[in-house]
Structure 1
Amino acid sequence: MADRVTVDIEGLRERIDEAYSDNPLWTELSLAQKLRRLLLDGLENVESDRAPKPPAKG
C-alpha cells in the first residue's frame, strides 16, 4: 500500500509548475508526479551533501 500525505501547497503551485518548465514533458505530469520528482531531487541533494567527502589532496 502506498504511503500518502496531505500537503498544503498554498502559494507554491506556480513555483512547482515552473520548476522544470524548460522541459516540455513537465507540463504533461500531474501535480502529484511533479511533487514526487521535486521531493526526490531535494532528497538526493541532501544525501549528497551529507555523504562523506574524500580527504582533500594537497
Structure 2
Amino acid sequence: MADRVTVDIEGLRERIDEAYSDNPLWTELSLAQKLRRLLLDGLEKVESDRAPKPPAKG
C-alpha cells in the first residue's frame, strides 16, 4: 500500500504552480504530481550536498 500524508499547503499553491512554469508539461500535472516532483528534487539536492566531496587537488 502506498504511503500517504496530509500536507497543509496554505499559501504555497502559487509557488508550487510557478516552480517549473517554464516547462509547459508542468501545467498538465496534478497538484500531487507537482508536490512529488518538488519533494524528489529537494531530496536529491540534500543528498548531493551531503555526499562526500573528493579531496581538492593541489
Answer yes or no: same fold by TM over 0.5: yes
Cα distance, 1:49 vs structure 2: 0.3
Cα distance, 1:11 vs structure 2: 0.2
**Matched residue pairs, number?**
58
Distance 1:13 1:25 in 2: 17
Distance 2:21 2:12 in 1: 14
Fraction of identical pairs, as percent? 98
| TM-score, scaled relative to structure 2 | 0.99
Deviations 1:8-29 (A, max 9, x none): 0000000000000000000000
Distance 2:57 2:34 in 1: 40
- The gaps in structure 2 that reach 5 residues or longer are none
Q: Cα RMSD (Å) of the superposition?
A: 0.2
- The gaps in structure 1 that reach 5 residues or longer are none
Stretches of 4+ moved more than 6 A in 1?
Answer: none
| TM-score, scaled relative to structure 1 | 0.99
